[in-house]
Every structure is written in C-alpha cells, then in structure tokens.
C-alpha cells in the first residue's frame, strides 16, 4: 500500500513561479486546490491585475478547484482576517501545507510562516534559494509559457508589458532586474505547460498605466502590525498592466 501524501493547497498567483512550484510539488503533496486573492472592486488577481475569468480558465485547464479570497482596499488586518478564514476552511478539508512560489525573499517567507502558524498550517517553498537565471531557463525548457501582465516602472518601461518570456526576453533584461522578477520587477500570466491539460486561450488587450497614489515604501515590514510590504530599492511611481482577455482562438503572439 502506497504512503498517503499530505494534503496541500497552492497559493496561486497565476504566474510562472506558482506554476513551477505546483509542478515541482505534485509528487510530494496531494494538491487539492488553488488559493488566490482577488480585488473585490475590480474582480482581478491582486497585484497581477488578471481578470477573474482568466483565473477560472487556468484552474479549468489545470483541473483543480479555486478557493477565492476577496480583498478590499481597506486595512491589512482585514486582508489577514480573510486569509485566515480561507485557510481554516481548507484545513477542515484535511490540508496541512500551503505551497508558495517564493524564491529568496527571507522576510516574506518568515511572514508567511508566522501567519500559517497561527492556524496550525505549514509552508512549503519548492523553489527556495534557486538560482533565478537557471530557474527561468528551466521554466522555458520544461515547456511552460507565460507573458508579463504587470510591469514595475522602477525597473522596466511600457514596452515590456505583454511580452512572452522566452530566451530573448531573458537576454534583453537589464542587469539590475532579477531574471525571475523576484523583487517585484514584473508579474506574469502562465498559459501553457506540463500542469495544463491544454493551453489557456487568450489575447492581449490594452496596456494601461496605473500610478501609485503614494510612493511604494522602502521598508519591507512593520513589526508593529506584523505586515509585509513588497519593497523596492528604488522608487516605484506606478505599474504598466497588459490586460489578458479570453479568446476562442489561442494566439500567444497576438498584440
């Protein structure tokens, strides 16, 4: 009789790192679903700006149910309360681990582990401390396909929004940009690869710029409320978003 794998849920952003992390952990865990936070006002994946409909299309192609956490723009405490409720719900289904695609942000890892400890869950980081140059190449070589959906203007300009990540993309990256965008330089929408039963049909929509109302903070965390903020070593003034639209005819090269 084979040993039963521990149950886990994937903290799913829809991007390349969570896709690779899910791929790497399927032999070690029984992954029962995807957990994603969405902006309640716009019905889009938090930070990535991807439509709920495209998230649903990814989940259908992967063959896992989606657990959606709807967050507003009010307080960090409210976000944590909503996440805690979602985690307690999957814990009741036997989940013991939550899988993350983080690579080397130690503060973020510690924050996640503290939050999970409050509800008695464990974190798994299958990509942890991977060389990001090698990792993005492995991503490409494994057959994953993804486009950028959000670009941090502190690192890259509008021309990078909606680009497919391939060998040319990696070669063109400026030296101050992490190859995997681990410092928040860019975010992605993954549409094909070994975890998908079929490619997710999509087309590229409008590229829009969303300025921040205030500069992104340099400090990574505030111990007074146990929060984590994705920090940038340079000032971020806003983000370029490439809208990812549903399409019956899959055309990853469409602009």
H/E stretch holding 149: strand 145-152
- How much of the chain exceeds pLDDT 70, in percent? 87
Q: Quick one: tokens of 90?
A: 């999957």
Q: Record the pTM.
A: 0.89
**Whole-number pLDDT of residue 254:** 38
pLDDT, tens digit (0-9, with 9 covering 90-100), for 187-197: 999 999 999 99
For residue 3, the model assigns a pLDDT of 78
- Residue 184: which region, alpha, beta or left (left: phi > 0; alpha: psi -120 to 50)? left
* Coil, strand or helix at 137: helix
pLDDT at 142 over 90: yes
Q: Give me the residue label for tokens 């829809």.
A: 14
Q: Give pLDDT tens digits for 97-115.
A: 999 999 999 999 999 999 9
Asked if pLDDT for residue 211 goes beyond 90, the answer is yes
Question: What pLDDT, on the 0 to 100 scale, is given for residue 220?
Answer: 35
> Considering the chain, what is the average pLDDT of its residues?
89
* Cβ contact 249:202 at 8 Å: no
CA distance linking residue 47 with residue 67, whole number of Å: 17
Q: Quick one: pLDDT at residue 72?
A: 81
- 3-class secondary-structure state, position 38: strand
Q: What is the pLDDT confidence band of residue 78, given thresholds at 50, 70 and 90? A: confident
Give the pLDDT of residue 247: 87
pLDDT of amino acid 229: 47
pLDDT, average across residues 162-169: 98
Closest alpha carbon to 95 in 123, 126, 60: 123
- Average pLDDT value for residue range 135-160: 97
Question: Looking at the predicted structure, is the pLDDT value of residue 8 above 80?
Answer: yes
Using an 8 Å Cβ cutoff, are 140 and 235 in contact? no
Is the pLDDT confidence value at 219 over 80? no
Alpha helices in 39-75 (DSSP H): 52-62
Evaluate whether 70 touches 44 at the Cβ level (below 8 Å): no
pLDDT band at residue 223 under the 50/70/90 scheme:
very low
pLDDT, residue 218, reads 33
Query: 14-52, pLDDT tens digit by residue?
Result: 999 999 999 999 999 999 999 999 999 999 999 899 999
The band of 249, judged by pLDDT with boundaries at 50, 70 and 90, is low
Query: 221: pLDDT confidence band, cut at 50, 70 and 90?
Result: very low
* 141 φ/ψ angles, rounded to the nearest 5 degrees: -65, -30
């Amino acid at each position: 009789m084979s040993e039963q794998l521990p149950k886990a849920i994937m903290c799913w952003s829809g991007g390349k790192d969570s896709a690779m992390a899910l791929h790497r952990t399927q032999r070690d865990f029984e992954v029962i679903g995807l957990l994603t936070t969405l902006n309640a006002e716009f019905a889009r994946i938090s930070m990535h700006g991807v439509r709920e409909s495209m998230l649903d299309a990814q989940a259908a192609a992967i063959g896992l149910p989606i657990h959606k956490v709807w967050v507003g723009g009010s307080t960090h405490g409210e976000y944590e309360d909503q996440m805690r409720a979602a985690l307690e719900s999957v814990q009741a289904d036997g989940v013991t681990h939550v899988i993350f695609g983080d690579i080397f942000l130690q503060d973020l890892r510690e924050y996640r582990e503290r939050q999970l400890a409050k509800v008695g869950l464990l974190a798994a980081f299958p990509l942890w401390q991977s060389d990001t140059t090698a990792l993005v190449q492995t991503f490409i070589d494994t057959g994953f396909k993804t486009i950028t959906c959000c670009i941090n203007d502190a690192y890259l300009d509008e021309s990078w929004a909606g680009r497919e990540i391939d060998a040319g993309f990696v070669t063109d990256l400026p030296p101050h940009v992490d190859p995997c965008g681990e410092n928040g330089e860019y975010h992605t929408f993954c549409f094909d690869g070994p975890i998908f039963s079929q490619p997710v049909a999509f087309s590229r929509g409008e590229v829009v710029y969303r300025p921040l109302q205030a500069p992104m903070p340099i400090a990574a965390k505030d111990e007074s409320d146990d929060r984590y903020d994705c920090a940038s070593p340079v000032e971020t003034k806003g983000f370029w978003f490439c809208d990812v639209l549903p399409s019956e005819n899959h055309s990853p090269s469409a602009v």
